[in-house]
Structure 1
Amino acid sequence: MSTERDSFLTNGRRRAATWLCVLLALSGAGWIVRDLTVAGQGADLWRHWCGAALRPGGDTVWATSALDPLLVLGAPAAAAAVRHRAPAPSVAAGALCSLAAGTALLRLPVLWTAAARLPVQDDRLLTWTRATAAAQLVAAAVLCAVAAGAVRRRGRPGRPGGRRTDALPEVASSAYGVVHAVPYGTDPGPAGRPHKGPAVVAGLLLAVAGLALTAREIHHWVRLGGEAYGRRLTGGTGAVGALLEPPADWEAAVLALLALAAAAAAFRRAAWARPATAAAGALLAVHGAVALALAMRAGEFGRLAVLPGGAQLGLAAAALSAAAGPLVLIAAARPGLPPPAADPDEVHAYGSAPGEARPPHAPPPPTTLPPGW
């Protein structure tokens, strides 16, 4: 196990991050089970996720949307990156931060919009909804703190895995005796860093989809005016939807932000770009597919030429999101740079391999290594 991994994957950090991911997964799965319970048929929940205007019956509403299964599945994926020791600290930190950012941004408006989505006042359901959103926001904040603290600890000089502050050659052997110096600057990059081809493809696709969503939101803002768009963005219009679902414009703005941030990371080929692009690609794919399903149900494709400019722009943004999302996932699934391997021609110190004999007339290695060795 490398010291770079140890600098992030300490037992305390692994346990804390894992339990927080379990909390996020269980809290989201509980609401999906609740929706399955109140649904007349299991297929009704699926049709609701696909955009059908169905009511589960009685004086209640759906609690989840199509993005909730992604958040539930993303939590164990991030926990696996931590527990199974991703090839670099930044990869595991990127998985945690991607999960935390998506959860926080999508759950934040629930704190003030949940009451407006209940057809009748239900204090118990409203309390549970807000408590879930608040707990997930706290868990997301702690996950970000854990990941940021690990990366900051890794970057301190003098710590295992820390960034070097001098330009001296790196020493390849830690044993006592003769060592072999590796020329400085030959390292292709940190482990887990995406290769150039997949990174460029993912960055371009995310940038195009993010800019399309941004253009749609700017068009809404110009057409409606700042005050009306602000109410629509924050859910002040009182439209009834799923309890944990953010307002439509809020969701589009959040996805545009995540897509552009992941695109910037992909262009920089940061080590945390792969989990960030995977998360953004999955969210874009589901968002675009649901928007296209709604447009198809409304018959907008049959009268595309007579639709207003805003509707045409929305369809274009949805199509780009639905098409770019799966392609980004494929690019993000490509393995990154492997951890550095030992050079078979490297000259190691005697005594570094088990059973290796000491050369003649060579002094024996010390039984106790010097301080700081």
Structure 2
Amino acid sequence: MYGNQATSTTPAPGARAAAALLCLALIGVETAWLVRDIHATGFHNTIWRWLQLDLIDPRSVPTTTSITDVVLLVVLVAALAAARRPSAGGAFAAAGLAAVLFRLPGVWIFTADWTRGFPERGRLLATSIAFVAGGLLLALAAFARVPANGAGAGAASGAGSGGGARAAANRPARGPAIAAGVLLVLLAAETVGWQIYFVHTYGGRGYPPHLYRHGLFGDPTTLGALLAPPFAWAGWATVLFAVVAAFAAFRGAPAARPLAMVLGLRVALVGVVALDLWHEEKLLFAGKRLPGTLQAQQWTAVLEIVLGVALIALAVPRANRGPFAGLPPLPPARNPRWGPPQPYDAPPAPPRQPQQPPQSRQPPSAPRFPPNPPAGGFGPPPPGYPPSGPASPPGYPPGGPRT
């Protein structure tokens, strides 16, 4: 299941430049909406509304942005920063997928009849279309690839200029990748379970008709902010994002890291916002005052925070910690008898003849005997050794027993 590294590719230089310009343009659009909200409602009130610590009064100025806009801004900035790095392809794919999934509902919401009275409706529609089109182009840039350095023709030119950008992205380690894939599958299964529960619950008595459908495609009663995706759509978008990230993690694809980090960031922040909303309602961990399903929703928010932080931790690249980490690579061994190194499929080079010392006309004179013994003491014995007779200690053996 875990992929190999047979093919090493990287986004083409032109695709990198185009994707960087797209990220820069989308960052400008997102920043303009954030500044608009801060100018209209104040910095403190905007932050409090993002975190659901201040329930929105229908008579107040409508909020355009939400915590999803903050996530998109962070993701786009990270993709722009990674434009010249080996991980650029995965960063572009993650940013493009997030932009498409969380901005697509605005395309039909701001063309519906019930949004005709919305302020700045045309700009909201243009923003949604720009993010969807830009996200698709970012994903396309991630797939416009060329061989990385050392993986084919043109590696030498890539190494000469921008070698870091032309290097291949490192695959995640097998253990963290499998663990992240399991957590992503768990997150997708948990979200699917809650969506099925909402389908049955919101279709029953005590709820407006077609409430879940409105939560999926948008309605004035289901929009927390003008650019925020409807709650049911956001749930299914999270499921799709988790499935794609899990597939990449199980295959060991380099894109698994940015995909897991983007989803982990959003899931953790959404869990924090959910707990803030329960706290604002004075119902956070109220115990027996709440039905079991509402208690389960609160603990699910805690679980999502834990899963999000764990996904980010597993996706962070780690330096090589092997026993030889940090040491320079050894030079290739060259035996003079073998000749210079040859390509893999080249015919064997003829053996080189050992070099002979230059022949002089007169042979060298014989050294005086004895020559110096080589290291270790093994050589001809020195003159006078062994002696003519065995040397015995004085008085030994004794002439006879002493009395």
SS of structure 1 residue aligned to 2:197: helix
Contact 2:11–2:144, Cα closer than 8 Å, also in 1: no
One-letter code aligned to 1:213: T
Alpha-carbon deviation of 1:27? 1.0
Select 1:11's aligned residue among 10, 13, 19: 13
List runs of 5+ in structure 1 lacking aligned partners: 163-189, 353-358, 362-373
For residues 207-218 of structure 1, the aligned pairs below 5 Å read 207-218=185-196
**Is the counterpart of residue 334 in structure 1 residue 328 in structure 2?**
no
Contact 1:97–1:144, Cα closer than 8 Å, also in 2: yes
Contact 2:12–2:144, Cα closer than 8 Å, also in 1: no
Distance 1:68 1:262 in 2: 21
Distance 1:149 1:334 in 2: 24
**Is the counterpart of residue 147 in structure 1 residue 142 in structure 2?**
yes
Contact 1:193–1:336, Cα closer than 8 Å, also in 2: no
Q: 2:124 maps to which residue?
A: 129
Larger Rg computed on CA atoms: 2
**Is the counterpart of residue 232 in structure 1 residue 215 in structure 2?**
yes
Q: 2:251 maps to which residue?
A: 268
**Is the counterpart of residue 77 in structure 1 residue 78 in structure 2?**
yes
**Is the counterpart of residue 221 in structure 1 residue 204 in structure 2?**
no
One-letter code aligned to 1:317: T
Q: 2:170 maps to which residue?
A: 192
One-letter code aligned to 1:288: G
Could you report, residue by residue, the CA deviation over 1:179-209 in whole angstroms, capped at 9, with x for unpaired residues?
xxxxxxxxxxx75111123223322333222
Number of equivalent positions: 312
Q: 1:183 maps to which residue?
A: none
For residues 52-91 of structure 1, the aligned pairs below 5 Å read 52-55=53-56, 60-83=61-84, 85-86=85-86, 91=87
Distance 1:117 1:306 in 2: 41
Q: 2:109 maps to which residue?
A: 113
Alpha-carbon deviation of 1:309? 4.5
Q: 1:278 maps to which residue?
A: 261
Alpha-carbon deviation of 1:269? 1.9
Could you report, residue by residue, the CA deviation over 1:206-252 in whole angstroms, capped at 9, with x for unpaired residues?
32222222211111112234954222211236335211101112112
Distance 1:305 1:115 in 2: 45
List runs of 5+ in structure 2 lacking aligned partners: 1-6, 156-167, 205-209, 344-350, 354-403
Distance 2:106 2:259 in 1: 24
For residues 161-200 of structure 1, the aligned pairs below 5 Å read 191-200=169-178
**Is the counterpart of residue 245 in structure 1 residue 228 in structure 2?**
yes
Task: Give the share of equivalent positions with the same residue, in percent.
Answer: 29
**Is the counterpart of residue 256 in structure 1 residue 239 in structure 2?**
yes
Contact 1:94–1:275, Cα closer than 8 Å, also in 2: yes
Distance 1:319 1:112 in 2: 33
Select 1:102's aligned residue among 98, 103, 109: 98
Which structure dedicates a bigger proportion of its chain to helix?
A: 1
Stretch deviating more after TM superposition (197-206 or 44-53): 197-206
Q: 2:35 maps to which residue?
A: 33
Q: 1:43 maps to which residue?
A: 44
Stretch deviating more after TM superposition (314-323 or 272-281): 314-323
SS of structure 1 residue aligned to 2:172: coil
Contact 1:274–1:333, Cα closer than 8 Å, also in 2: yes
Alpha-carbon deviation of 1:343? 5.6
Distance 1:191 1:119 in 2: 45
Q: 2:366 maps to which residue?
A: none
SS of structure 2 residue aligned to 1:8: strand
Could you report, residue by residue, the CA deviation over 1:70-94 in whole angstroms, capped at 9, with x for unpaired residues?
21121121122222x21xxxx3222
One-letter code aligned to 2:178: V
One-letter code aligned to 1:266: A
C-alpha change, 1:349 and 1:275, in structure 2 (3 Å) is farther
Higher relative contact order (CA 8 A, sep 6+): 1
C-alpha change, 1:316 and 1:254, in structure 2 (3 Å) is farther
Distance 1:232 1:350 in 2: 67
Select 2:25's aligned residue among 7, 23, 26: 23
Contact 1:17–1:146, Cα closer than 8 Å, also in 2: yes
C-alpha change, 1:346 and 1:324, in structure 2 (3 Å) is farther
C-alpha change, 1:53 and 1:119, in structure 2 (3 Å) is farther
